[in-house]
Amino acid sequence: MSDLISCNIIEKDKNGGDYLWSWTFPYILQEQKDFIEKKCILQEIKNYIYGRWKKKWFYINVIECDSEKMQENSLIGVVIWTKEFNPDKYRTLASLLCRTYHESGDPTKVLQLYLSVFTKEIDSNENGSLLFKEYCSYNAFNHSNVKEMINMFGLEIILIYNALLLKRKLVVYHHNLSTLLEWLKSFPYIMLHRKFDDVFFPWIELTDEEIQELTSCSNYIAGCCDNSVFSRPELYDVLVNLPAKEITVPQQSKDRLPMTKVHKEIALYMEQLGKSDSNEEKVVKAISEKTEEIILRLKSFARLEDGNLKLSLTTLKQNDISPAMENFLIQLASSESIQTIVI
């Protein structure tokens, strides 16, 4: 079954009038419209944004209208709603649908393309556009910036790695929304074996409603453009300030992010990957392999009981593990859903 839920066309006339939801397939709730109109100001969107509404993902592509093709509109936007978080894949699709409507002014042509993707009856040769061929041959690793992120933060990249590994609260700040979203999509690639869809909040505003939704999760990756988040340490264990290239760990979170000799080794390894000639896919997979080594080491201290792995504190102590490493393994066990037992 397709991950697509629905598609909408929004238009804004040249006289500065209200948004017109001119076409929808198959449906959209009024609550969704209200959310988009409140959170997303069409004329301030620089081409493309994505975000989350409850358990759904939305992707919006906006273009300025050519007066010769659309005389009454200044802007048109296509909104795609999906069950799947995949910003680059749906950027390509949203851009294609938006351009199709701009060129033709005919929503049935948009519907035809949308249905071909929805039913997965697609062939890159059916449509001559490069965008359609790009959508059909989508490769996630081509859109990751993990290597660049490593080079930006150097050895401190281990703070991000550790927060993701131990399922902590990670907040990423940038004053520019487009830049924030471009960077944020790469964070899940650092922990490739995890699925972050349920705890990924690309763009939060510090309203009571959004903070309540955020804090209902025990861990998350959240993006924010409001610098007042700096004075809200209760919202994060690690704060990544992209413009300043700084990573902050509040005092109250340091015990939740233990550092060991293993972390130093991983930090040096990641720094070497950043400086290497390896492409993005190789870098991401190399980090994933290193993570798998750590998890396998953890599991070597665990035993299987009633079909579940359980980590014995007694076993850890018998193996002469340092207190810092013991603390780290116990917290890692929790993040990997391995129960810790005293015996």
In single-letter form, the type of residue at position 221 comes to: I
Q: In what order do the strands lie in the sheet with 19-25?
A: 19-25, 4-13, 73-82, 56-64, 48-53
pLDDT of amino acid 17: 66
Residue 11: the pLDDT is: 86
* Domain boundaries defined on the chain: 4-138, 143-256, 301-343
Domain 143-256 in this protein, CATH class: alpha beta
CA distance 227 to 230: 6
Whole-number pLDDT of residue 78 = 95
pLDDT at 277: 96
How confident is the model over 80-133, as pLDDT tens digits? 999 999 999 899 899 999 999 888 889 999 999 899 888 765 554 444 454 555
Residue 125 pLDDT: 46
CA distance 219 to 98: 35
Structure tokens at 18: 């209200």
Q: List the chain residues with pLDDT less than 50.
A: 1, 124-128, 130, 137
What radius of gyration do the chain's Cα atoms show? Answer: 23
**C-alpha dihedral over 36, 27, 3, 140, to 10 degrees?**
-40
For the entire predicted model, the pTM comes to: 0.89
pLDDT of residue 1: 43
Instruction: Supply the CATH classification number for the domain 4-138.
Output: 3.30.450
